[in-house]
Amino acid sequence: MVCAQCGAVSDEGQRFCYNCGARLDLQPVSAPVAVAAPQPQTLPPPPAQIQPLSYQQPMTTSTYPQAVPNSTLAIVSLVSGIIAWVLIPILAAIVAVISGHMARNEIRRSGGSLAGQGLAMIGMILGYVQLALVALGGCAALLFFVIAVAA
């Protein structure tokens, strides 16, 4: 079949012209038309040459977020808070509370160059709760001792 729009010859049974996409079955059947010689295709332009970066050109900054390091005191506070619940109740709880407060002050003074506020807060909470439980346990033991002596 010959396309009425572009004159391309298509195989029999095709519904659309492979060249221009026109519908072939709606066209009136006519005698074959002389096919024009294909036009030479233009080549794409050559790729641009890559210019090497010279050391005088300023480097652009990365758009990726930079990782902010955690405060060492905040990590010490968290680890001490966990140790207070597992191994050394009183001593590790005191270390967790003190290092937690020091870490929060250090992070606040750093102006955003240090992170770990949540680590310090969790360490302080673990330390304070452990100290409160030790104090309540001591009061309960003292109460039982006084009741036992009075009886």
pLDDT tens-digit profile, the chain (151 residues): 778 777 788 777 778 887 787 788 654 555 555 666 666 777 777 777 777 666 655 556 667 778 889 999 999 999 999 999 999 999 999 999 999 999 999 999 998 899 999 999 999 999 999 999 999 999 999 999 999 998 7
Please report, for residues 48, 50, 83, the alpha-carbon distance to residue 45 in angstroms, rounded to integers and kept in the order given: 9, 15, 69
User: How far is residue 90's CA from residue 141's CA, in Å, rounded to a whole number?
Assistant: 16
Q: What is the pLDDT of residue 90?
A: 94
User: In Å, how far are 39, 43, 51, 146 from 46, measured between CA atoms?
Assistant: 21, 9, 15, 97
Phi, psi of 48 (to 5 degrees): -70, 145
Give the sign of the dihedral formed by CA 24, CA 28, CA 32, CA 38.
negative
d(CA 43, CA 46): 9
CB 127 within 8 A of CB 96: yes
**Amino acid of residue 125:** I
Residue 30 is predicted with a pLDDT of 55
pTM (2 d.p.) = 0.56
And the tokens for 42?
Answer: 């233009």
How distant, in Å, are the alpha carbons of 85, 119, 124, 129 from that of 94?
12, 16, 9, 11
Give the pLDDT of residue 32.
57
